[in-house]
Structure 1
Amino acid sequence: MTLPADEARRYLVGHHALARPVFPPGCRGVRALLKGLRCIQLDPLDVIGTNADLVALARVDGLARGDVYRHLMPGHAFEHFAKERCLLPASAFPHYRERALQAPMWRLQSRLERLPEAVLHKVLEEVEALGPATSKTLTDHGAVVPLDWSGWKGTGRATAMALEVLWMRSQVVVCGRAPGGKVYDVPRRALPRHADAPVTQSFERWALVERVEAAGLLSRASGPHWSTLTDVRTSRLPDTLVEEGVLEEVAIPGSPRRYLAPRGFREREFPEPDERMRILGPLDPVLWDRELVRRAFGFDYVWEVYKPPAQRRWGWYVCPLLHRGMLVGRLEGRVREDTLHVDNLWREKGVKLDDDALDAALARHAVACGVERVRRPRARVTS
């Protein structure tokens, strides 16, 4: 099936709930959003809100910075590796529980080599007895040799590493965030409706269909959009699901890539884009596949947060702007004191940036960030 680029763009905007608000405001909307998106990618940086905040604020009204966790945990979500570390709906937990002991990429064995088995049992017993707890509120079991992944250092505290192992095994789950770090609890308390629910299919089959739904169009080429499912990508399973009619294979003119799409995706109905401008998080699901973004939107986006300053084309934490179903510009901003400062603003070449829509978007975002004022420059043209 061939899908013209403009049709792919309209589909992606609608599929990712970016055309107009389709979820109720506030708490109910966040919970419906997570079910609809399948996962929300997490990142600890909080510049104008974390990535999870930005994903939700672009789609759900009546939210403030930090409401994603407040409205989802405990009971409605948990954290695990999907497309990197993500918030996942509680209904996905049984699949991760079954998968937990088959995940070498999560470095489980490396941790077990450093950690006495007795510490694992003691930490689990304490979490079961105390209820929600952070690593700092549990008994200190001394030090361990931290993991070192290409310069990234893991924890050197035995209690914290034990919680990581128990989390990977799905014996505990993250049920919130606190000033002391992640809050852990056992699944029967944190996710009572799903802790012991059965599963009826393999993790790989379930996860591939979920990833295609989460992406909308999932390129069969390798890339970060296949994170944690690289073995599935090269297996026979994608072809099998296409042959069974569970998934469809799509081509976009001018691209050698093939994409996996949900069954019947062209028959799905979405509203036309509204007049609202939206500030997208750098890890928004519509941006996962940069090559697809170039093909469908004509927009070149690279998140440059980990690049040295001299190698950045735009800036450190730059967010795209979506308006009327098009990516029309990008901004770099920060919250400082009582003001949302837009330090840099660019419009796409050939696009007239709607200043009224941008001002309205920034005003909404300032309220969500708990500040009173906005300062921004005039837009420069993207070269």
Structure 2
Amino acid sequence: MTQRSILKQLQRVTLQSQGLSKTHSFGKGKQAVLAALEHLGYIQIDTLSIVERAHHHTFWTRIPDYQIGYLDQLAEERKVFEYWFHAASYLPIRDFRYALPQMLLFKRGEARYFNNVDPKSLSYVKDRIRLDGPQKARDFISTGKKPGSWWDWKPTKVALEKLFMQGDLMVSGRSGMEKIYDLTERVLPSTVNTTEPSPLEFAEYLVETHLRAYGATTVKQIIHLKTGKSLRKDVEFVLQTMLEAKKVQQVNIDGMPPIFVLQALLDNTIKKPSPNIRLLSPFDNSVIHRERVEQLFDFAFRLECYIPKEKRQYGYFCLPILFGDVFIGRVDCKAHRKEGQFELIHLHIENKHLEVASWLEPFVQAVERFAVFNRCHSIKLTQVSPSALANELKQAFDR
């Protein structure tokens, strides 16, 4: 096989593993949400609400009948929990024990953060929750006149986060985006395995999670934002063991690190994804590893909301546009919920090889669906690049 054909196969392996090749990869309804989360390993939580928040957006992309309430219900049923993967995330409760190494790192004071928290604040917050029940951060705002005392907002907020990160507290629910904290023993089901995994078990978990979710991965992607030379060695050992057992195959492409691919996926013919448009969240699992997307799909993507306006190239909150197995561009958009209007502030079409007619109708349908998901009933197209496409696109939305 040529390197180009290998690359195309890796693209399809990735999209199929991510649940982006067909419409109902994980089924329908609430059970599909749990199935998707258990398959992908995590879904990143983000508070930005320019469009529907990232965790809901990511599920909706894969589950057409997704409803925001499904995730809340699964949290109440204790089938999912919140913790840290590479960022704040929802994870399946079955994987709770693999969060323990990081929790214990915080408990021992070996993490980079929360090492100088006042023990009085920790005791106060934990005792308050034990006696008064679940609490939000705002419940600890002092009504006294002496800000800065150890029970004031800042110390207790820090104490809440440390107790959460070290596993003494869990998020028992949310009020909007506000987290509600409770003692772990009152949240975590008694049937959940709480045995700390060995370093090798943790490495196996990371390798298996990445291979299941992406089909193909690299050592760098597996240990993304994880620290320690020993972890890298353990990950390399697990991959070598899988190579010897012919569970994975190593693929080499010029300019890329060694890629490890599930053998079962290579043995089967991966069909071309359906020619649908998917408007992806900037925090979607499929694009969160920016280097992976650029290497596999030749699509350089950066979220520009965190950089100064004058330095932005595409816009504040761009969504990657995936058509089948090709990224055709990105769109900076915003849901004006009070007005019920979904605005495409600037649509950037970057793929010059595909005829507009091939993706135009699916794109319009995808935007219309996404507008409804964002509780908007009208669509406004403000700017298009290249400008030569503007009239054709505006006419398509006016039909």
Is this a same-fold pair by TM over 0.5? Answer: yes
Q: Per-residue displacement from partner, 1:311-331 (whole Å, max 9, x unpaired)?
A: 222111101111222212211
For residues 1-383 of structure 1, the aligned pairs below 5 Å read: 4-20=6-22, 21-64=24-67, 66-67=68-69, 69-74=71-76, 75-103=78-106, 111-115=114-118, 117-138=119-140, 140=142, 157-179=154-176, 181-193=178-190, 195=192, 197-199=194-196, 201-202=198-199, 203-221=202-220, 226-231=223-228, 235-245=232-242, 248=248, 250-262=250-262, 264-267=264-267, 272-336=272-336, 337-347=339-349, 348-353=351-356, 354-377=359-382, 379-381=384-386
Percent of aligned positions that are identical: 19
The residue aligned with 1:150 is: none
Distance between the aligned counterparts of 2:130 and 2:192, measured in 1?
14
When residues 376 and 180 of structure 1 are mapped into structure 2, their CA distance, relative to the original with a 3 A threshold, is: closer
1:149 is matched with: none
Calculate the TM-score normalised by the size of structure 2. Answer: 0.81
3-state SS in 2 of match to 1:157: helix
Flag the 1:258–1:106 CA change in 2: closer, same or farther, 3 A.
farther
Identify if the C-alpha distance between structure 1 residues 48 and 104 changes in structure 2 by more than 3 Å, giving closer, same or farther.
Answer: same
Q: What is the TM-score of this pair, normalised by structure 1?
A: 0.84
Cα distance change, pair 158–372 in 1 and its aligned pair in 2 (3 A): same
- Contact 1:25–1:60 (Cα < 8 Å) also in 2: yes
- The 3-state SS of whatever aligns with 1:192 is coil
User: Matched residues in 2 for 1:264 and 1:248: separation?
Assistant: 8
Which is richer in helix? Answer: 2
Provide the rounded CA distance (Å) in 2 between the counterparts of 1:106 and 1:369: 42
Q: CA deviation at 1:68?
A: 5.9
Greater alpha carbon shift after TM alignment, 260-269 vs 342-351:
260-269
- In 1, Cα distance between equivalents of 2:108 and 2:250: 30
In structure 2, distance between residues paired with 1:249 and 1:309:
44
Give the letter aligned to residue 8 of structure 2: D
* Contact 1:30-1:56 within 8 A present in 2 as well: yes
What is the Cα deviation at residue 54 of structure 1? 1.8
Report the Cα distance in structure 2 between the residues aligned to 1:37 and 1:256, rounded to whole angstroms: 24
Q: Which moves more between the two structures, 41-50 or 345-354?
A: 345-354
Instruction: Give the conservation status (yes or no) of the 8 Å contact 1:226–1:233.
Output: no
What is the alpha-carbon root mean square deviation over aligned residues?
3.3
Tell me the residue number matched to 2:392. none
Q: Who is 2:397 aligned against?
A: none
| Structure-2 separation of matches of 1:232 and 1:261 | 23
2: distance between equivalents of 1:105 and 1:367?
47
Q: 1: distance between equivalents of 2:237 and 2:177?
A: 46
What SS does the corresponding residue of 2:180 show, helix, strand or coil? strand
Which letter does structure 1 place at the counterpart of 2:163?
Answer: L
The one-letter amino acid of 1:322's match is L
Q: Give a deviation string over 1:19-45, Cα, whole Å, max 9, x none.
A: 112223332221211111101122221
Shift of 1:164: 0.8
- What do residues 208-239 of structure 1 show as CA deviations (whole Å, max 9, x unaligned)? 43344344433334x7x744413258731122
Deviations 1:47-105 (A, max 9, x none): 111221221111012224x4464243231222222122221111121222354122499
Compared with structure 1, are the counterparts of its residues 186 and 311 closer, same or farther at alpha carbon in structure 2 (3 Å cutoff)?
Answer: same
Question: SS at the partner of 1:332?
Answer: strand
Distance (Å, rounded) in 1 between the aligned partners of 2:225 and 2:262: 20
Structure 2: 5+ residue stretches without partners: 388-399
